[in-house]
A and B are shown apart, each in its own frame.
Chain A
């Protein structure tokens, strides 16, 4: 089957029901999306499929068709960061950082549809992503900074 990830197309021979997460990580070597729970409880595996935040641990590769997949690696790079990533750096959100790929992908998709989020909107949108280190106060602040930056852009 064919998968289009971060603008590159890959062909791979895997089961239709293999979760996208494991196709990305173990078959394509794209490790930004993380395994945390495997049951849509933590959000560490979040990627975008046609711009929507999706839990890749719950998305069978066979259901993706030719939709475009974006992982954290495709959102921005250390040299050219996405506004959300830059806000994450500015607020020094990460502790262990393991959840942050998913947090950032969740925030980036959320801000596409909610360019001027209220505090409640942010709480609701970001509560599906677990951070065991407890970086939530910084996540809140970084989402606001990113929203302002994206609005200004």
Chain B
């Protein structure tokens, strides 16, 4: 079964290559004419090689190219390879890629990653839409859009299987035994007499023979690792303080840098006086950088202090200075000129809305990323190029950006990707990289570690898109009859891609993500996206467009269902069109014991939303206490096609729910005088432990494709909470953050 289904779907070729001291196994991607800037140097028909397994006499190295910002893909990728390669999870070194220069120059120079296979119908259309947004770039060359699992699921297993069978073939040649009589276990080939030959001892020979590429993938029934609880490969290091993040790396003669950049993002430095800072202990230099100044010192704290001591005069922001103007620009964007496109138009909404209608307006503010590790990078630059140590989701773009700053070729930039202390989209941006490169270029040969202070990180963050929705709907005979959903947001895709020198072709699907393709068949349903003129710069924030459209859609859907006098679960079940989504709804109903009596002052709310191909339903239970709303419990059902690691799955779902709830309740970024008003966690903390509910998770596997779970639990959290609060109190929350409208415990 594994074979026919998997091989038929493969969009890649597997193969091997000799490398210094051994052999590498991976995939070749035949380059088709495409607008992928990364493979332009390849002629049509030429192939780029992605090595995933490298075996030499010294050991086994797995190359896990997707960056790990906490979502566990490092471990997941290891497990996918190990499953077929027959090694233990701790038997290989796992590298983010580019392990040594020779290897780097040949094999990794033109890597490229094909995007996941497509589904039929609505899902296929939705995937194509995703592919037309910023995610095209991420899918092609990076980590984002919950793409790691779908991208790697087949390829890594195929590479592992090929490596195993090729090593067996090498052992067969050496021993004269037929390969069928050989077994593999724990990184060794075992002969019928029990002789064990380590893979490492076979590496050189394996490089000399043609790779065995027609190996069927194992049937899931045979899996040792996938689908079973695994110990994450990084868990001990992360529990003992021994895992080095980018911020922890130290190089000989390294200096520490801090920056002071115009907090009116994109504005100029008009004037400055560095005398005080320059006289401070440990300060080596004050240097000009784009938008401001850098201080180079012998200690991070001294650099921070000196940066604060700089006297600066900032130019104005290239966007409206006050928050009210931002809201006004959003509100004024529901016009024919700003119509981005009509994404869905079922039935005839205009005719349906000639009678009595229900209307509402929803708002979602800017929100900061602010992962706990602040942005940072170490760069050393000289006449021969540059070396970079940092954690980033788009390594090839890091090379391009650094090359542009230090004035060398991209190939002269070596990038050492690092474990990341959280991203949520933040490590898709380049400012810390380009600023570190500008500093390093002014101090040739000296490794410069640039660390953003938390205040600088807040000031320079590109928040989630700001947006509003206007909904009009009607009900008839106890049912939801019609709904016109208009969503206006700034385009974080346009903003983000603009900073990468790219432009978005076509309408931005993220504005209406998940809303236009909602799996419900209403008699009349229209979804339109409006694009707000660029305001403050924005970026991808965990679940991107769906983080706002999910709230807009599932909040108002609950209002319509309430107006119809219907039950939120029953009405969704009546209207749902897709079997996988129906099963998710049925599961959440059963888990939450939907319909049972919760008692006085309590309420439950439901939302289901799909993002990145994953339908997620959440039920939130709250109690209206004298001190405010207490969130008691959350149930989550999500269908990812295949749960690779149930423990990590549960952890990520819980984290996604906490992310969604915490920011919906507590967090926003607002602008005054052109600057973000929030400067540290006391003003934007998301959720803390005392507010955290119990969260019960169920992973479903009915979907036909394997999907990632990093982002999809986020969008339903805010509307499910708002709907629960309505059920408990009768108060409808239509604007995040909710704390502005109701108290929480």
Contact A89 B694 (CB under 8 A): no
- Whether B70 and A22, one on each chain, are in contact in the complex, defined by CB atoms closer than 8 angstroms, is no
CB distance from B216 to the nearest CB of A (A): 32
Chain A positions 11-47 with a Cβ under 8 Å from a chain B Cβ: 14-15, 18-19, 21-22, 25-27, 29, 31-39, 41-42, 44
Of chain A, the residue at the smallest CB distance from B648 is A92
Q: Taking the complex as formed, is A77 at the interface, i.e. its CB lies under 8 A from any CB of chain B?
A: yes
| Any B CB within 8 A of the CB of A59 | no
Residues of A within 8 A of B (CB): 14-15, 18-19, 21-22, 25-27, 29, 31-39, 41-42, 44, 71-73, 76-78, 81, 85, 88-89, 92-101, 104, 123-124, 126-127, 129-140
B273 within 8 A of A: no
- Interface stretch, picked from B50-58, B235-243, B519-527, is B235-243
CB within 8 Å for A95 and B244 given contacts A27-B299, A35-B300, A81-B239? no
Residues of B within 8 A of A93 (CB): 239, 651
The verdict on B264 contacting chain A, using a C-beta distance below 8 Å, is no
Chain B residues lying within 8 Å of A35, measured Cβ to Cβ, are 247, 300, 374, 451
The answer to whether B372 and A132 have CB atoms under 8 Å apart is: yes
Chain B, 190-235, CB within 8 A of any chain A CB = 231-232, 234-235
B687 on the A face (CB < 8 A): yes
Taking a contact as CB atoms closer than 8 A, the residue among A26, A77, A129, A132 that contacts B240 in the complex is A77
Cβ contact within 8 Å between A136 and B250:
no
Report Cα–Cα, A89/B237, bound state, in Å: 9
Query: With contacts A92-B651, A132-B422, A135-B655 known, is A123 near B240, CB below 8 A?
Result: no
Among A77, A89, A98, contact of B372 (Cβ-Cβ < 8 Å): A98
Out of B245, B373, B682, name the residue touching A41 (CB < 8 Å). B682
In the docked arrangement, what's the CA distance between A127 and B685, Å? 11
Q: How far is the CA of A14 from the CA of B424 in the complex (A)?
A: 36
Contact indicator B281/A15 (Cβ below 8 Å): yes
Docked complex Cα distance between A31 and B36 (Å)? 40
A-B contact pairs, 7 of them (CB 8 A): A26-B256, A26-B300, A78-B237, A94-B235, A95-B72, A129-B689, A136-B689
Chain B residues closer than 8 Å to A36, beta-carbon distance: 372-374, 454, 681
Q: Is the CB of A41 within 8 A of B372?
A: no
Nearest first, the 6 closest Cβ-Cβ pairs linking A and B are: A96-B70, A32-B241, A98-B421, A97-B238, A134-B658, A72-B241
Q: Are B241 and A101 in contact (CB under 8 A)?
A: yes
Name the CB-closest residue of B to A126. Answer: B689
Which of B231, B256, B304, B686 contacts A132, CB < 8 Å?
Answer: B686
Given A130-B681, A137-B692, check contact A95 B651 (CB 8 Å). yes
Complex alpha-carbon distance, A12 and B716, angstroms: 52
Any A CB within 8 A of the CB of B132: no
Task: Tell me, rounded to whole Å, the shortest Cβ–Cβ distance linking A26 to chain B.
Answer: 4
> In chain B between 250 and 283, which residues have their CB closer than 8 angstroms to a CB of chain A?
250, 256, 281
B248 in contact (CB, < 8 A): yes
CA distance A34 to B647 in the complex (A): 26
| Cβ B690 vs Cβ A94 within 8 A | no
Shortest Cβ distance from residue A62 to the other chain B in the assembled complex, whole angstroms: 14
CB distance from A110 to the nearest CB of B (A): 12
Chain A residues near B422 (CB, 8 Å)? 95-96, 98, 132-133
Given contact pairs A132-B371, A133-B70, A136-B658, a sample of 11 additional A-B residue pairs in the complex whose CB atoms are under 8 Å apart: A18-B301, A22-B300, A31-B241, A34-B421, A39-B680, A96-B371, A97-B243, A98-B245, A98-B422, A126-B689, A132-B370
* B contact residues around A92 at 8 Å (CB): 231-232, 235, 647-648, 651
A36–B300 CA distance with the chains assembled, in angstroms = 13
For A88, the chain B residues whose CB sits under 8 A away are 235, 239
Tell me the smallest distance from the CB of A85 to a CB of chain B, in Å.
5
Over the window 109-121 of chain B, the binary record of Cβ atoms lying under 8 Å from chain A Cβ atoms (1 yes, 0 no) is 0000000000000
Contacts of A31 in B (CB 8 A): 241, 244, 247-248, 250
Residues of A within 8 A of B689 (CB): 123, 126-127, 129, 131, 136, 139-140
Closest CB in chain B relative to A44 CB, distance in Å = 6
CA distance A81 to B237 in the complex (A): 11
Q: Digit string of B31-58 for contact with A (CB within 8 Å is 1, else 0)?
A: 0000000000000000000000000000
